[in-house]
């Protein structure tokens, strides 16, 4: 299967049936993310215990790329601490730039490497990361309006 086919298959599957979608009762951390230029809005709610993400849920109105990235991200980071998430985000940003990265560490998120060909869509895939980071850092909101890897 080509990288483009893998990308389309993963994004469509996670957009149709996003994992960890909805509200999280008794969350300890939360943040709202937005990309006003394209209209994406996302909310992450986390339960952090002993410095690790014990549970994560997201909601919002966003494009297929943002929803799929949030879904894949929610599965990949559960159980990780902030340092491991920061290291993973650095790998993801490298992937989007087309730089060498650890695709195995990214798991399904590696499919977003296809966005190297679509720079304008990178912000869509970065919004879940920015929102998760904001929540972990105690910030109420995040945006990717000016971000670019």
pLDDT at 148: 47
Flag whether 148 is in a domain.
no
**Residue 101 dihedral angles phi and psi, to the nearest 5°:** -155, 170
- Tell me if 77 sits within 8 A of 53, measured CB to CB: yes
pLDDT at 4: 73
d(CA 72, CA 49): 21
Residue 114 is part of a domain; what is its CATH number? 3.90.1010.10
CA atoms within 13 A on the CB side of 109: 31
pLDDT at 145: 81
CA atoms within 13 A on the CB side of 34: 6
Using the structure block, give the residue that is written with the tokens 């990235």.
69
> Which pair of tokens denotes residue 116?
């190297």
pLDDT at 111: 92
Flag whether 131 is in a domain.
yes
Flag whether 149 is in a domain.
no
pLDDT at 75: 97
pLDDT at 146: 73
- Looking at the structure of the chain, the number of domains it has is 1
**Structural domain range at position 13:** 3-143
pLDDT at 3: 65
Which residue, among 75, 86, 72, has the nearest Cα to 124 in the 3D structure?
72
In tens digits, the chain (149 residues) has pLDDT values of 676 776 788 888 999 999 999 999 999 999 999 998 889 999 999 999 999 999 999 999 999 999 999 999 999 999 999 999 999 999 999 999 999 999 999 999 999 999 999 998 999 999 999 999 999 999 999 999 875 45
22 in the Ramachandran plot: left (φ > 0), alpha (ψ -120 to 50) or beta?
left
Question: Which residues is 60 bridged to in the sheet?
Answer: 42
**Residue 57 dihedral angles phi and psi, to the nearest 5°:** -135, 155
d(CA 62, CA 96): 19
The pTM of the whole model exceeds 0.75: yes
């Amino acid at each position: 299967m080509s990288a483009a086919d893998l990308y389309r298959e993963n994004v469509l599957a996670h957009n149709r049936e996003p994992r960890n979608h909805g509200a999280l009762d008794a969350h300890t951390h939360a943040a709202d993310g937005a990309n006003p230029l394209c209209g994406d809005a996302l909310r992450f709610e986390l339960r952090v215990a002993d410095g690790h993400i014990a549970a994560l849920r997201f909601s919002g109105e966003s494009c297929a790329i943002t929803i799929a990235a949030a879904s894949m991200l929610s599965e990949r980071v559960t159980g990780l601490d902030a340092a491991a998430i920061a290291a993973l985000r650095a790998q993801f940003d490298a992937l989007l730039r087309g730089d060498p990265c650890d695709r195995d560490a990214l798991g399904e998120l590696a499919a977003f490497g296809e966005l190297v060909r679509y720079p304008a869509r990178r912000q869509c895939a970065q919004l879940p990361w920015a929102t998760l980071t904001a929540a972990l850092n105690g910030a109420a909101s995040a945006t990717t309006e000016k971000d670019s890897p």
